[in-house]
Amino acid sequence: MSKLAPAQFGFDFSARQTDSITPRVKRIPLPDADVLLFSECFGAEEGARIFDRLLSEIHWKQDYLTFYGRERALPRLTAWYGDRGRNYTYSHISMKPNPWTELLLMIKARVEAASGAEYNSVLLNLYRSGADGVSWHQDNEPELGEGPIIASVSFGATRIFQMRHLTRQDIPRVDISLFDGSLLVMRGSTQSFWQHRIPKTQKAVGARVNLTFRHIHT
């Protein structure tokens, strides 16, 4: 599938906004979706401090998937934090939440204020280099309910976030550059009609931490 030309929908997905006073938001006009991109939810200096703290304070772990009887390490490190009892299962991996930290609660409050939603859990992914990534998937597990709001904030190196429509071949793939401090919010019918991924790359890229806030229903 071809890369979506920014001019096609009148929005430059690769151009970073520089106004650090108020996070600027752009709606990405995709059919069957409701996607918002906040260009700078966290400023550069603040983001650098948060990034360093996330690397050292989070209880990162290596998860594994089983393919044809063989275990394979996920190409990233993960962590799950949230309210007590907000367990989460994806790709046959069951996770029980670590308790919120002061840092995560601060990030959560900023994300909630920007996105206008409340969250009770967060999945963290550490992409150590371009060799790490995540394959095509939807955030549509039963615990997330119908029409979940997924708020994804990034710290560290810029990585490409790709989206593709599940059924319409006439819609080209969408490539979005997620910069340090940016916030991407997917809501409404997005998870029903679109998949997304972080592709691996052979380019030299630094580490990136991504936090996807969500609401787990019990």
**Residue 2 falls inside a structural domain:** no
- Number of folded domains that form the chain: 1
Can you give the residue range of the structural domain that contains 35?
22-214
Specify the residue for token string 């580490």. 207
pLDDT in tens, 172-218: 999 999 999 999 999 999 999 999 999 999 999 999 999 999 999 97
Q: How many CB atoms lie within 10 A of CB 203?
A: 8
Domain holding 161: CATH number? 2.60.120.590
**Residue 133 falls inside a structural domain:** yes
The confidence band for 126, taking pLDDT boundaries of 50, 70 and 90, is very high
**Residue 187 falls inside a structural domain:** yes
pLDDT surpasses 60 at 118: yes
**Residue 117 falls inside a structural domain:** yes
- Contact (CB, 8 A) for 155 and 180: yes
- Contact (CB, 8 A) for 76 and 132: yes
Q: What pLDDT sits at residue 10?
A: 33
Estimate the share of the chain in helix, then strand, then coil, as percent rounded to the nearest 5.
15, 35, 45
Query: Rounded to 5 degrees, what are φ and ψ at 129?
Result: -160, -175
Query: Rounded to 5 degrees, what are φ and ψ at 152?
Result: -115, 115
**Residue 17 falls inside a structural domain:** no
Helix, coil or strand: residue 106: helix
Q: What pLDDT sits at residue 88?
A: 86
Cα separation, 115 vs 185, in Å, equals 7
Q: What is the helix (H) or strand (E) element at residue 56, kind and residue range?
A: helix 44-57
**Residue 13 falls inside a structural domain:** no
Mean pLDDT, rounded, for 34-62: 96
**Residue 7 falls inside a structural domain:** no
- Mean of the per-residue pLDDT values for the chain? 89
Largest CA distance in the chain: 52
